[in-house]
Copies of this chain bind each other. A is one copy, B any other.
Amino acid sequence: MSDKIRIGVLGATSYTGAELVRILAFHPNATITYVSSQSHAQERLSSIFPALSGINDDVLISPQDAQIRGDVDCVFSCLPHAVSASLILPVIERGIKVIDLSADFRLKNPDIYKAWYKTEHPAPKLLEKAVFGLCEHYRKEIANASIIANPGCYVTSVLLPLLPLYKNGASIEWIIADSKSGVSGAGRTLKLNTMFAEANENFSAYSIGHAHRHTPEIEQELGFAAGKPVTITFSPHLLPVNRGILSTIYIKTGLSAEKCAEIVKNFYTGEPFVRVREASDLPTVASVAHTNYCDITFTDGKDGRPVIAVSALDNLVKGASGQAIQNMNIMFGLTETTGLMR
């Protein structure tokens, strides 16, 4: 076992935490050293998630105990924002690699962080060191990083189709991303709107009108690729499925859908987890559920109407824990697909 990457998981009782454990349990080059949880410390992880019985029956340790552990090579944090940055500081200081699934290291500008998250950034000095973990676009930086800011789920679904266009110099007048996410995206905290009898047989928009926290993250990365500020209209919706995000993205550009598809397909040639499909073969949530794939198409709007990109991914896998493990594979020099093809 000594040559396996030794893993710690903070916030293991969240949905992303459980998904991480589920994938890592069968990863040939990783071993879970500890799982941690504030609210469930001293309980078995498999008593919280019976599905993990026989897969991981470890007793959860407290974050305080986790922070002082030196016997790990990589720590994944599935903690809430603000809490995450402050709890992983001591881990980073021990020289342990950190993959943070919270929003804490995604925004480069601490003022923008404060404006959207209503709190001072807990570790502004680390922002420069952190690498935005969108694997297909920051692979080289990820390989050498000590802290990864794992991208937001919606963010990944919007950036993957758009970034290659900007990087190719496409002129884009405006963008609207109408996104729909399964309920696990809202986390495991008890809230009325995600109760079964409220969310089932229902569908609704929320945080529309430049109000969702994934918006500045999308605009930052599009801006980096464009070399100038980019604004976007981003509208999230709550979809009555457990997993999956589908984004319908309207792009006002002089390019045809065919040309967009060609640029994006070329960009992702050889990428194991991005499937650029024919326009006749639109992505669906079911086709990517439980996988690390992101599927993408471009459809012509006809007669000057905007081009329509559709992308789909599993919010818990490519939108969170799968991409986090892809980042780990890159950081530790493993084949990028290790443990993720299933």
Contacts and interface: CB of A to CB of B under 8 A. Distances in A.
B201 A195 contact: no
A248 B208 contact: yes
Interface residues of A, number: 79
Interface string A287-303: 11111010100011111
A16 to B, nearest CB: 12
Nearest to A51: B287
B209 A286 contact: no
A53 B277 contact: yes
Interface in A250-282: 250, 257, 272, 275, 277, 279, 281-282
A285 B201 contact: yes
Nearest to A210: B302
B209 A275 contact: no
Contact of A195 (B50, B196, B283, B303): B196
- Sorted nearest first, the 9 A-B pairs with minimum C-beta distance are A202-B286, A190-B190, A204-B284, A209-B299, A210-B302, A178-B178, A196-B199, A51-B287, A183-B196
A328 interface: no
Nearest to A190: B190
A210 B307 CA distance: 11
Contact of A208 (B231, B242, B308, B341): B308
A195 B191 CA distance: 8
A326 to B, nearest CB: 15
A239 interface: yes
Given A53-B275, A241-B203, A176 B342 contact: no
A119 interface: no
B248 A303 contact: no
Contacts of A224: none
A192 interface: yes
A286 to B, nearest CB: 4
A54 interface: yes
Contacts of A235: 178, 248, 308
Nearest to A252: B174
10 contacts: A50-B277, A51-B291, A188-B195, A198-B286, A201-B285, A203-B244, A208-B282, A210-B302, A239-B239, A240-B240
